[in-house]
Structure 1
Amino acid sequence: MGFKLPGIVSPKRSLTRSSSNANKTASKTLDIPKGYFAVYVGESQKKRFVIPISYLNQPSFMDLLSQAEEEFGYHHPMGGITIPCSEDTFLDLTSNLSMDGSYEPSISDIGLVSQSSINGSDCNEMQYKGVRYDKLSTEDLKGQEFKTVEEAESFYNAYEKAMGFDVRSDYKRLSIRIIGRVTSLRLVCSAQGKRREEYMSNKKRVRKPKKETRFNCPCLFKVRYRSNINAYMVDDFITIYSHQLAQAHESHLLRSYRSVEDHHLALATSMQRVSVKPCHTYEYIVDRSGGFKNVGFIMKDLYNKLDSRRREILLEGDAEAALAYMRGKVATDSHFYCKFSIDEDNRLANMFWRDSNSLVDYTCFGDVLVFDSTYKTNPYEKPLVLFVGSNNHLSTTVFGFALLMDETIETYTWVLETFISSMNNKRPVAVLTDGDEAMRRAIEVSLQMVLKNAGMLWLTHMVSTIRIGLR
């Protein structure tokens, strides 16, 4: 069985012209070689041209596409891209583009050029105060000062890329007095330490253990904030390695140096909306950047970034869906109650709700309240708080629910005050909880006046060990 390979288009015949009819558009897409696309040009009679994708790098050609978008939008009359200019003008433009083999990125293309392409020189040619990175010693750097912790991190990230190893943060300690002030930072090689022996000698292991990636590498970089000079001073700098370093042509594959920029993510997201696969988008970015080493990330990083972005959108959509559901319940239940709060990023933080049946049950059987929270078993990692009690049939009755941002005293105080407010300010006689310290403090803060004036009985015990007769 044989098959036909697409022909190679020479530079002199980079434009393949043919007449175009609307009923032949589908069949003519089959003769487009890889790396080319079809456009339609002409004033009265449209003619079809097959041009290389590399023309998309040219500012003059992008101007034509912008004019096409302004005139036709995204609905082109020929089904493909229709350019509003004469045939002679188009031929003159493309002939000039074909003659010019070299291409320098313009200002509009900088968004697709990685930072590594700007620093195109050999990494080992980089210097710190006249000393090459590969010649730096402990004495050269110990005692040196950096104005900010970001400046120190930037230096060591450049150093690790020049030398050919990955970096991870061993610890970063913050100041107690000044919010956000980093007091000390220690960066180590990703091969620092060693895998615990219990994971290596487990005889019950079913799968083959992963490849060893840590070799007790002693390389590190440590800075500490000095208040007398208002700067960060290098306390320790070790340049000894216990493993093979990456070569210069492999440095772009180091994990700590790879990152998907926002403009690349926006491009991939837009391409997905028009059914372009991320792998094809990555190839396009590689072509625009001038090679894999200039992109700044690998294809797997792009897939991971798109997946995490998709999960964020789903979580945000779930919050909107939950609030829409609560609004629908209010329309059908006049006594339905829901209250929520948002965080500094304008995201859903805490939410409490109860229906009219819960209000009636609490009015009749709300003298004893069981206040407990479950572990973060939901995909949003939010504690679920249950307000329950017992009716006259010794059956469990639910008074309300709450999804919380965390398990702090402030959050528990908010949900307790919201619960009491939703129940027409009726307070329970006894509160049973599992003895969590944050819960106890929140109950003291929320019900302190009642404890003093009304003599409320507050019982705290372990629900898991004492039967409370609820079933």
Structure 2
Amino acid sequence: MGIHVPSNVPMESTPFKGMEFEADEIAYDFYNEYGRKAGFSIKKEYVNKCKKTGVVTSRRFVCTKAGVRGKDKRDQNVKNPRAETRCVCEARLVIILNRDSKKYVVSEFIVEHNHYLHLPSTVHMMLSQRKVAATHAIEIDLAHELGLKLKQSYELLSKQVGGYDNLGFTKQDHKNYLHTKRQRDMEHGAAASLRRYFSRQLKENPSYYFATQLDYEELIINIFWAEARMIIDYSHFGDVIMFNTTYSTNRDARPLGVFLGLNHHRETVIFGGALLYGETIESFVWLFETFLEAMSEKKPITIFTDQDATMLAAIKVVMPKTYHALYNWHMWQNAEKH
């Protein structure tokens, strides 16, 4: 590809050797802004800290195409391996703490890239450039409170700034922001109330069952519960069950999942309920495993669900011998659409 040097960046926005910054994060923001104007994304490669004080003594910021991927340790039979995106690009910015002035000084700045740079129309798609600004976050929260769907909210924001290119983040970033907000709200608000409620139920009836799934930050993703009556009903009528997440979706876009069945009078009985923040394969695997744990590991002979592909994949993992079928209602809905 040859050497590519950014040519459309003003001098006042370009780093230089000897340039000083009050803090290492300020240096990162400056280099990231330079990368936005130049057409590349950056990342933090390494940091050195003083062992006694923990103060950052040096940092290196590099282009995201620096280095190469290590040996793939995944299954060798992966059909669609992730494409290599790095090409040993040498572009970088290195800063060192001046212990006298307490400022960070640029000790090395390599401007050349060995790959094509992004155009202004695509720069907002680069990872380090994608950020939900505080002003946009307020508007996202307001649209969310008014009940606007994610797609409507994202389109509204893009029109206000003259197009998606000027927004600074993608629809997935928009979704991730709402997802994180819901998780934190849940952890600090509704989660405490639910835990108190479940604890009271458990004191009144030791057979009451509930469980929560946490993410890597120990924030609640999903919740499952089953009353003693539900567990007893499942022991009698749990050969054929139904699981549906279309009964109720609140303004937080959190589906209510319900495990259902029929008793000997052909009346609907409930075997358990779940509030779902995450609807990934991992989340459904956790949910089905938790459901079976509550039901003394008795697996159903048949389970009816909707057409969710992630749900189907989870069933194959947790209940490989259980027969899986689809609701007639979902099939009719699909037929009407197509």
TM-score (norm 2): 0.53
Residues 237 and 203 (structure 1 numbering): CA distance in 2 closer, same or farther, change over 3 Å?
same
Unaligned runs of 5+ in 1: 1-122, 334-354, 356-376, 383-471
Equivalent in 33, 41, 49 of residue 166 of structure 1: 41
2:300 match:
none
* Greater radius of gyration (CA): 1
Q: 1:310 & 1:275 partners in 2: Cα distance? A: 14
Corresponding residue for residue 189 of structure 1 = 63
Asked whether 1:177 is paired with 2:177, we answer no
What is the Cα deviation at residue 279 of structure 1? 1.2
Q: Distance in 2 between matches of 1:251 and 1:380?
A: 31
State the partner residue of 1:367.
Answer: none
Q: Secondary structure at the match of 1:266?
A: helix
Alignment CA distance shift 1:204-1:253 (3 Å) = closer
Q: CA–CA distance in 1 between the matches of 2:31 and 2:111?
A: 12
**SS state of the match for residue 31, structure 2?**
helix
1:146 corresponds to which residue? 21
CA separation of 1:287/1:230 partners in 2, compared to 1, >3 Å: closer, same or farther? same
Distance 2:50 2:192 in 1: 35
Residue identity in the other structure for 2:167: V
Greater relative contact order (Cα < 8 A, sep 6+) = 2
User: RMSD between aligned alpha carbons?
Assistant: 3.1
Per the TM alignment, residue 380 of structure 1 is displaced from its structure 2 partner at its CA by 5.0
What secondary structure is seen at the aligned counterpart in 1 of 2:104? strand
User: Contact 1:265–1:306 at 8 Å: present in 2 too?
Assistant: no
**Structure 2: gaps of 5 or more residues:** 1-6, 207-211, 219-338
- Residues 408-466 of structure 1 show CA distances to partners (whole Å, capped at 9, x for unaligned) of xxxxxxxxxxxxxxxxxxxxxxxxxxxxxxxxxxxxxxxxxxxxxxxxxxxxxxxxxxx
| Counterpart among 142, 156, 166 of residue 31 in structure 2 | 156
Deviation at 1:328, TM superposition (A): 6.8
Q: Which residue of 1 aligns with 2:222?
A: none
Q: Tell whether the 8 Å contact from 1:171 to 1:185 is kept in structure 2 after alignment.
A: yes
In the alignment, which residue of structure 2 is the partner of 1:251? 123
Deviation at 1:297, TM superposition (A): 1.0
The answer to whether the aligner puts 1:322 opposite 2:195 as a matched pair is yes
Q: What CA deviation, in whole Å up to 9, does each residue of 1:45-75 have, x standing for no partner?
A: xxxxxxxxxxxxxxxxxxxxxxxxxxxxxxx
Instruction: Work out the CA distance in 2 between the residues paired with 1:327 and 1:158.
Output: 53
Which one-letter code corresponds to 1:194 in the other structure?
A: V
Corresponding letter in the other structure for 2:99:
S
Native 8 Å contact 2:39 2:117 kept in 1: yes
- Tell whether the 8 Å contact from 1:191 to 1:215 is kept in structure 2 after alignment: yes
Q: Distance in 2 between matches of 1:144 and 1:273?
A: 45
1:126 matches 2:10: yes
Shift of 1:326: 4.1
Identity of aligned residues (%): 26
Mapped partners of 2:60, 2:89: distance in 1? 14
User: In 2, are the aligned partners of 1:219 and 1:238 still within 8 Å (CA)?
Assistant: yes
Counterpart in the other structure of 1:296:
168
Task: Tell me by how many angstroms 1:244 deviates.
Answer: 1.0
The one-letter code matched in structure 2 to 1:162 is K
Give how far 1:218 is off: 1.1
Q: CA deviation at 1:149?
A: 1.7
Query: 1: CA distance between counterparts of 2:135 and 2:20?
Result: 34
CA distance in 1: counterparts of 2:22 and 2:154, whole angstroms: 37
> 1:171 corresponds to which letter in structure 2?
Y
For 1:269, give the aligned amino acid: D
- Please show how residues 258-407 of structure 1 align to structure 2 within 5 Å: 258-316=130-188, 317-326=190-199, 379-380=214-215
Question: Is the CA contact 2:9–2:38 (under 8 Å) kept in the aligned structure 1?
Answer: no
For residue 100 of structure 2, the aligned residue among 219, 228, 235 is: 228
| Alignment match, 1:107 | none
> Helix, strand or coil: the match of 1:248?
coil
Please tell me the residue identity of whatever aligns with 2:107. D
In structure 2, how many angstroms separate the alpha carbons of the residues matched to 1:203 and 1:280?
39
Matches of 2:142 and 2:75 in 1, distance apart?
49
CA distance in 2, matches of 1:268, 1:291: 16
Q: Deviations over 1:107-133 (max 9, x none)?
A: xxxxxxxxxxxxxxxx925223xxx74
TM normalised by structure 1 equals 0.39
2:80 pairs with 169, 190, 208, which one?
208
Q: What per-residue deviation string (whole Å, max 9, x for no partner) do you get for residues 167-215 of structure 1?
A: 0111233333335x3221111111111122445xx78323211121111
Please state whether the residue corresponding to 2:8 is helix, strand or coil: helix
**Residue in 2 that maps onto 1:69:** none
Q: How many Å apart are 1:230 and its aligned residue?
A: 1.6
Specify the alignment match of 1:365 in structure 2.
none
Closer/same/farther in 2, CA of residues 205 and 144 from structure 1, 3 Å limit = same
Return the offset for 1:236.
1.7
Report deviation, 1:288.
Answer: 1.3
